[in-house]
Chains A and B, each alone.
Chain A
Amino acid sequence: MTIENWLYSIPLKLRSLFKRKRVENELAEELRFHLEQRTEQNIASGMDPESARLEALRAMQGLEQSKEACRDTRGLNLIDNLARDLRYAIRMLRRSPGFTAVAVLSLALGIGANTAIFSLIDTLLLKPLPVPHADELRTLALKGNQPDRVLVAVTYPIFQALHKYNHVFSGLFAWSNYDFQMRSGPDMVHVAGTLASGEYFSTLGVKPLLGHTFTNSDDQSSGGPNGPVAVISYRFWSKHFHRSPHAIGSPLVLDRTRFTVIGIMPPDFFGAEVGVHPEIWVPLAIGGNLFDRVCMASRSCWFLIVMGRVHPGLSALSVNAGLQVLTPPVLHDALPTDWPPPLQKTFLERHIIANDGAHGYTWMRFLFTHPLTVLMTLVALVLLIACANLANLLLARASARNREIAVRLSLGAGRPRVIRQLLTESILLSLLGAAAGLAFAWWLTRILASFLISQPGPGPSFELDIAIDWRVALFTALVAGGSGLLFGLAPALRATHSGIASLLKESTHQLRRARRSVFARFLLPLQAALSVLLVAAAGLFGGSLFRLLHLDPGFHPQRVQLISLDTDKRPEKNAALAALYTRILERIQTLPGIQSASLLWLTPLSGGGWDQPVAIPGRSDLSEDQRDTYLNLIGPGFFETMQIPLLAGRAFNSADTAVSERVGIINQFAAERFFPHKNPIGEHLILDKTPIRIVGIAGNIKYLDLRDPDPPEMYFPYTQKSDGMPSLTFVVKTKPGARSLYRDLRTALHEIAPDVPIGTPKSLQQQLEDSIARERLMATLSLFFGALALLLTSVGLYGALAYDVTRRTGEIGIRMALGARMPDVMWLVVRESTFLVTGGIVIGVAAALALSKLVASLLYAIEPNDPRTLLGAVAALLAVAIAAASIPALRAARLDPTVSLRSE
């Protein structure tokens, strides 16, 4: 047909869609006119009026059929029928609210869980950066000869060399996250910021909302032509400048340095690091020079992430070839010459590689890709169970609707038409489930995201903006449509399979062996197998978490709060700074409600650590690795506050000062390893050529990671730190029932050190839990999904058996009348299911054994094929199955034969 044809046909189609009544009336009138004319003609030829009318109708071959044939020509049947099917489906679903509720709820949980996990995967792995042509971006990394040694962070000298020799990328930039100190009212606060190199904005290709961004000419260590400049986020602009255009050119004092605001970024811009939302961008050269001079100059301070943009259409092959040429001069220029020769050699053997950068950079990817993949699989299995369940319920319903379907078929509805109508019902169900599932997903993603961002890691606090974008919407729609087809197609095919006659006959409750279809017999073992798999996963992850939670960290976190200070910008350094800390600590100890208080540098399980090999006189037999010791600075009262036992010797006290003898306390493990045959008290360890006298032995604590074995540990008094005194954290144990001390603490700090930013207080318990966020995530979700699987399976089993019993009431009555006893009847009901569930369990156990290796790296202190976990999973499923089966079985056994026979 040509376009001109459509000029006629489209208005006609629209007219029949939207002026249906009028079009129908016209059709009826047209045919009535014809019938009248024919009748008149027949009368004229001598028929009596009645037979004349009937003859006319016969010639028309059925008035309604003719009308339908005319309607068919409109080509709108698809839409028409869909609307009619939908109306009918809604009516059917409303007529059985119980079934609808169970179906929608189980689908909502299944689809919602899938959507939630997918939206996390989308956020972390799939969503491209909101910048033009994100697919041209690459993240650079240094690959070593061992496959697992990939460095994504580089040093400033490496970046400088990359920039100098670059001929591969049209733009190349580096950045590092940095928390600025800024005054906000009476407080000094931290503001998340980014130190970005000159081509950061131009390479990302993002234009500012107002003003302009900085370039290479601003990225100078002494500041560009405009001095130190800063670009601010939309959020920062709203909060601090109330979206005034005069913000451009305004001064902004960061870390006591005056910057000039030159640009404001659009609201959706966050840079190149997913999860990090900087408020301020400052040129790397000047920012680094002002705030992190040591790191900028160092050839072994790995703090920059580098990204580049390749020319469009450049193949991966030519990029790699270019990088191969680039690698030797860059590594040569940036070689850490102070490293021992073997390490220098390894350094020079590295290769610069380009990884995908379209999705930005986030360290969370390294940590969560595997867990999320596992979770995605688990939720897919849950949805599969839900689908199997619904297929089962629909099969039962379809048999109950045999007569209705038979009537439809005999009235001339084609089989595809009936199947389509049944499918409309199941797809409507799954769409309803998806709608409810989206609400569930919204809630679940927030919980999931809180797990993810609580995981301690490098860098500032995380925000994951998980939105339902088109990928998530498409995914949900596909999952919903797919599951609707999955659980709806087989029952629909089966319902329309047998001939009309047998369908009509069957509804007369004739006595015949009620065998379930092959398909139904396949569903139950499938559900059982999947349930075993999910419950086993729940057992493994739950078991890992249980073991971690019952691990003794070596300290007691109850009622212990951690409050960090940032004194890096204080004029006092070293001894003077230590004195400041002492003054603050003394003040804190006088506050009411405090049981004890101390301070330390690195809080346990925070993800940060300081380790170095120590020298032990007379123990040249120990390797460097064996002598590697985890170090920390602590204050007086630390062991009481943390309730770490002091096993021998003394704690630090006020006599340990900058001028007194250097002293240290080692942990039990260090004492056993370094001094196996003598009392370590009074012995010396040598750190950085300084001898340190051991004055005490403390209990082991978990330092870096709860999952690691206890390392050798050594404490020093902060008062003896002679140079590079870091910011410390107060550790405060409150009396039972004491209210939060944060306000008192803040007031006290304002008096002593008014411009020191105070971190948000965090309980040590929270820190402990955050450090195992991944395990908690896996355990919580897998337990939830395991329970859901059991629930769905039991509902499915119960539904199938209950339906069987109803259908076989007559048969059961006859058997009872013939002398069958209660156990016989019960066995009759559950016999088939028993075999099916047992078969499913066997398959499930085999699958669990085969698949559990894939999650081994996510487990702690539990073998992937832990026999007790598997047995537990089987037992749980059996218990649930027996409970679900016993209700219909008992009902069957209690049937009164006389009543049930009458039910025929």
Chain B
Amino acid sequence: MSKPSDLVQGTLDLLLLKILALEPLHGWAISLRLKQVSGDILQVSDGSLYPALHKLEQQGWIKSEWKATENNRRAKFYSLTRLGRKQLDNEAANWKRLAGAISRVVALEEL
């Protein structure tokens, strides 16, 4: 399915893991949180959110559970597994390295 065009490939997984590391959330809440924390810069379409979540679940990074929302509606809540937390650490470290390298390169060009 369509990939979020303005997201570096693979970063969606990192974002989702990071968001879920804070607290278990359902899909809708995740999409709201994504928009909220990234300040509308990182757009993740509704269409690509769920396949990404399902993929993470199949890989064992996150697990799901049906629970009631604050409005007493049944929803599927995702939370991080032990493996997911390790994965998040790895990915985050990778990201920092990558981001640092890229900003250094960008800084170079400005000289």
Residues of A within 8 A of B (CB): 1-2, 4-9, 12-13, 26, 29-31, 33-34, 37-38, 56, 59-62, 65-66, 68-70, 72-75
Who on chain B is nearest to A62 by CB? B47
- How many contacting A-B pairs (Cβ < 8 A)? 87
User: Which listed residue, A7, A13, A33, A62, touches B75 by the CB 8 Å rule?
Assistant: A33
1/0 contact string of B40-79 vs chain A (CB within 8 Å) = 0000011110110011011110010010000001111000
Does B50 lie within 8 Å of A65, measured CB to CB?
no
| A33-B28, A34-B27, A34-B28 known; A9-B47 Cβ under 8 A | no
B1 in contact (CB, < 8 A): yes
Q: Complex Cα distance A56/B46, Å?
A: 9
Give chain A residues whose Cβ lies under 8 Å from the Cβ of B48: 61, 69
B2 in contact (CB, < 8 A): yes
B33 in contact (CB, < 8 A): no
Extra contacts besides A8-B63, A61-B47 (4): CB < 8 Å = A6-B60, A9-B58, A59-B46, A65-B47
Who on chain A is nearest to B31 by CB? A34
Does A60 lie within 8 Å of B47, measured CB to CB?
yes
| A26-B76, A33-B26, A59-B45 known; A70-B50 Cβ under 8 A | yes
User: Which listed residue, A5, A7, A13, A66, touches B50 by the CB 8 Å rule?
Assistant: A66
Give chain A residues whose Cβ lies under 8 Å from the Cβ of B76: 26, 29-30, 33
Does A73 lie within 8 Å of B58, measured CB to CB?
yes
Question: Which 5 pairs of residues, A with B, have the shortest CB-CB distance?
Answer: A61-B47, A8-B60, A69-B1, A5-B60, A69-B51
- Least CB distance from B16 to A in Å reads 13
B83 in contact (CB, < 8 A): yes
| A61-B1, A69-B1, A73-B51 known; A8-B81 Cβ under 8 A | yes
Q: Complex Cα distance A33/B28, Å?
A: 8
Who on chain B is nearest to A33 by CB? B75
| A26-B76, A33-B28 known; A66-B47 Cβ under 8 A | yes
Does B1 lie within 8 Å of A66, measured CB to CB?
yes
Does B1 lie within 8 Å of A8, measured CB to CB?
no
Give chain A residues whose Cβ lies under 8 Å from the Cβ of B63: 8
Q: Complex Cα distance A70/B54, Å?
A: 6
Give chain A residues whose Cβ lies under 8 Å from the Cβ of B58: 9, 12-13, 73-75
Q: Complex Cα distance A69/B54, Å?
A: 9
Who on chain B is nearest to A65 by CB? B1
User: Which listed residue, A12, A56, A59, A69, touches B57 by the CB 8 Å rule?
Assistant: A12
- Least CB distance from A62 to B in Å reads 7
Does B1 lie within 8 Å of A73, measured CB to CB?
no
Give the dominant DSSP class at B's interface. Answer: helix
Contact-residue bracket for chain B: 20 to 34
Who on chain B is nearest to A66 by CB? B47
User: Which listed residue, A6, A38, A73, touches B46 by the CB 8 Å rule?
Assistant: A38
- Least CB distance from A737 to B in Å reads 83
Give the dominant DSSP class at A's interface. Answer: helix
Give chain B residues whose Cβ lies under 8 Å from the Cβ of A33: 26-28, 73-76
User: Which listed residue, B2, B31, B60, touches A4 by the CB 8 Å rule?
Assistant: B60
Q: Complex Cα distance A5/B60, Å?
A: 5
Q: Complex Cα distance A72/B2, Å?
A: 13
Q: Identify which of B28, B31, B46, B66 gathers the most chain A CB atoms within 10 Å of its CB.
A: B46
Who on chain B is nearest to A13 by CB? B58
Does B47 lie within 8 Å of A59, measured CB to CB?
yes
- Least CB distance from A39 to B in Å reads 11
- Least CB distance from B38 to A in Å reads 17
Give chain B residues whose Cβ lies under 8 Å from the Cβ of A8: 57, 59-60, 63, 81, 83
Give chain B residues whose Cβ lies under 8 Å from the Cβ of A62: 47
Q: Complex Cα distance A26/B65, Å?
A: 11
What are 11 A-B interface contacts by the 8 Å CB criterion? A1-B59, A6-B60, A9-B60, A34-B46, A37-B28, A56-B46, A61-B2, A61-B48, A65-B47, A66-B47, A73-B55
Q: Complex Cα distance A793/B106, Å?
A: 72
Q: Complex Cα distance A258/B45, Å?
A: 95
- Least CB distance from A28 to B in Å reads 11
Q: Complex Cα distance A31/B76, Å?
A: 10
Who on chain A is nearest to B1 by CB? A69
Q: Complex Cα distance A59/B4, Å?
A: 12
Who on chain A is nearest to B56 by CB? A73
Q: Complex Cα distance A70/B47, Å?
A: 10
Does B83 lie within 8 Å of A38, measured CB to CB?
no
Q: Complex Cα distance A68/B51, Å?
A: 9
- Least CB distance from B103 to A in Å reads 32
User: Which listed residue, B26, B45, B60, B74, touches A1 by the CB 8 Å rule?
Assistant: B60
Give chain A residues whose Cβ lies under 8 Å from the Cβ of B28: 33-34, 37-38
1/0 contact string of B1-15 vs chain A (CB within 8 Å) = 110000000000000
Give chain A residues whose Cβ lies under 8 Å from the Cβ of B59: 1, 5, 8-9
Give chain B residues whose Cβ lies under 8 Å from the Cβ of A26: 66, 76
Q: Complex Cα distance A30/B26, Å?
A: 9
Q: Complex Cα distance A13/B59, Å?
A: 11
Give chain B residues whose Cβ lies under 8 Å from the Cβ of A31: 50
Give chain B residues whose Cβ lies under 8 Å from the Cβ of A1: 59-60
Who on chain B is nearest to A35 by CB? B46
Give chain A residues whose Cβ lies under 8 Å from the Cβ of B75: 30, 33
Q: Complex Cα distance A70/B59, Å?
A: 13
